[in-house]
């Protein structure tokens, strides 16, 4: 089953989006997905502007979770920076996304683009007891 939300990219939407992902996947599988949707939303706010319409989608499967965020700009593609220094105030979001995901990429859409990543799902036997 897929969680799909249409919203405007504004800072206050990040918390609501993380909550929706946690409710959709469950607390044991949601931490990395919450991080990824927050970073993708933050990138849209930074590079396209506050108030840009976006559509995040999260699909949980047996072995992987797919996180996607579609925005209307087909030209502003994310680029993984070489390395952020201690003095840099930004530039770590995509590196973080790449570090926690199995793979990530960008797909051109008819009216924009979708940035996506796939995350491993924890098996019930690997989760620690509550």
Q: Which whole number is the average pLDDT over 51-57?
A: 98
Over residues 29-41, the pLDDT tens digits come to 899 999 999 999 9
Over residues 81-120, the pLDDT tens digits come to 666 555 555 556 788 888 899 999 999 999 999 999 999 9
CA atoms within 13 A on the CB side of 95: 8
Give the pLDDT score at 127: 45
Tokens 């007891």: give the residue. Answer: 129
List phi, psi (to 5°) of 56. -80, 145
d(CA 16, CA 129) in angstroms, rounded, equals: 27
Give the pLDDT score at 74: 93
Q: Is the Cβ–Cβ distance between 49 and 73 less than 8 Å?
A: no
For residue 128, pLDDT over 50 is answered with: no
For residue 61, pLDDT over 70 is answered with: yes
Residue 35 CA to chain centroid, in angstroms?
7
Q: At what angle do helices 13-25 and 27-47 cross, to 10 degrees?
A: 150
Q: At what angle do helices 93-100 and 27-47 cross, to 10 degrees?
A: 150
* Pairing label, strands 103-109, 112-120: antiparallel
Q: Which CATH number fits domain 2-83+90-123: 3.30.565.10, 3.30.530.20, 1.20.1250.20, 3.30.360.10?
A: 3.30.565.10
């Amino acid at each position: 089953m897929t969680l799909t939300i249409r919203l405007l990219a504004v800072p206050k939407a990040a918390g609501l989006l993380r909550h929706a992902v946690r409710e959709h996947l469950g607390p044991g599988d949601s931490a990395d997905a919450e991080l990824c949707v927050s970073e993708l939303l933050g990138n849209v706010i930074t590079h396209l502007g506050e108030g840009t319409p976006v559509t995040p989608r999260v699909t949980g499967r047996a072995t992987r979770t797919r996180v996607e965020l579609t925005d209307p700009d087909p030209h502003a593609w994310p680029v993984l920076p070489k390395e952020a220094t201690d003095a840099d105030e930004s530039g770590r979001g995509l590196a973080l996304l790449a570090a926690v995901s199995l793979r990530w990429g960008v797909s051109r859409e008819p009216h924009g683009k979708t940035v996506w990543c796939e995350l491993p799902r924890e098996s019930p036997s690997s989760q620690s007891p509550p």
